[in-house]
Amino acid sequence: MIFLIRVLGNRVYKKEVMGLGDVYLTAMIGAYIGFPMIIPGIFLAALSGSIFGIIYLVAAHKSKENPIPFGPFLSLGGILIILFQSFIVGVLSRLGIYL
């Protein structure tokens, strides 16, 4: 899934939007936490990266052209899943999403 995002993003924007290291890191995290749990892990990574990116762009007066590495946020998403897996599964099951 991440590799597909990388390939499509590179073709649409005509520049590298995500490094191959992010693909390898996601595969490694997915191998450790398992397939169903990697989906909320990627979501948490994207959410935390978006929040940080917005705050960073506003506070530092930077433009959208400044790249922000995604790897640390993927790691954060994986760590959050490892630490709070039972809580996250409980919340998702109450929402009707069963992993």
Among residues 51, 50, 44, 52, the alpha carbon closest in space to that of 75 is found at 44
Q: What is the pLDDT confidence band of residue 67, given thresholds at 50, 70 and 90?
A: confident
Predicted confidence (pLDDT) per residue in 4-19, tens digit: 999 999 999 998 889 9
Task: Report domain extents, the chain.
Answer: 2-94
CB 17 within 8 Å of CB 38: no
6, 22 contact by CB (below 8 A): yes
The pLDDT value recorded for residue 38 is 95
Question: pTM for the full model?
Answer: 0.88
Q: Please spell the DSSP secondary structure of 7-49, one letter per residue.
A: HHHHHHHSS-SS-HHHHHHHHHHHHHH-HHHHHHHHHHHHHHH
Q: Is 69 helix (H, G, I), strand (E, B) or coil?
A: coil
